[in-house]
Amino acid sequence: MNIWILLPLLVVLSGCTVEQIKSTLENAKPANDGTEFSNPGITAAEQPLGADVYRPTDKMTDEFDNSASPLSKRVLYFDRDQTKIRPEYQAVLAAHGKYLSKHTNALVILEGHTDEQGSREYNLALGEKRSQTVRQFLQLNGAITAQIEVVSYGEERPAKVGQEEASWQLNRRVEILYRR
């Protein structure tokens, strides 16, 4: 049976958005070309489960791994209950947008995350809004819609487990993950 026929039922039963379920289903599929995917700058232990994230070529690795390059920064943090991009991340996002405009075959996933404060539904919506804000900023700097996928995990994938402000600050974020 075709899984896409069951998609509307899954949406109703799970309470997730169509995009979230599609993303989950697509990420569950193995890569067709046997390519190994990883998130540049994150160790294997920190790699999100099911992420088929772009591995830069050797030439690109310099840009992504050089700590002086804004492209090496792929996690943006947000204030509590906010979707506004902080001024310190604007140059980083501008660099990613320009990179995407020059490399039209590059694709990114914007993963929105929140701290555990608030309901599950509120946090999923807030993570989505944060990712959408980052998407708009990237597009203003040259990226095209087809290059960007948005997903929200809400509070489900914390960067740091804990019930204090130091943990919550690390969980209020959008991660930029490059993929093929």
Residue 41 in contact with residue 54, Cβ under 8 Å?
A: no
How confident is the chain (180 residues) per 10-residue block, as mean pLDDT? 47 53 46 35 40 49 81 96 97 96 95 96 97 98 96 96 93 92
pLDDT number for residue 60: 54
Residues in CB range of 113: below 8 A, 6 or more apart: 127, 130, 152, 153, 154, 155, 157, 158, 159, 171, 172, 173, 174, 175
Q: Which domains does the chain have, with CATH numbers?
A: 31-179 (3.30.1330.60)
How many other CB atoms are there within 10 angstroms of residue 134's CB atom?
27
Give this prediction's pTM.
0.67
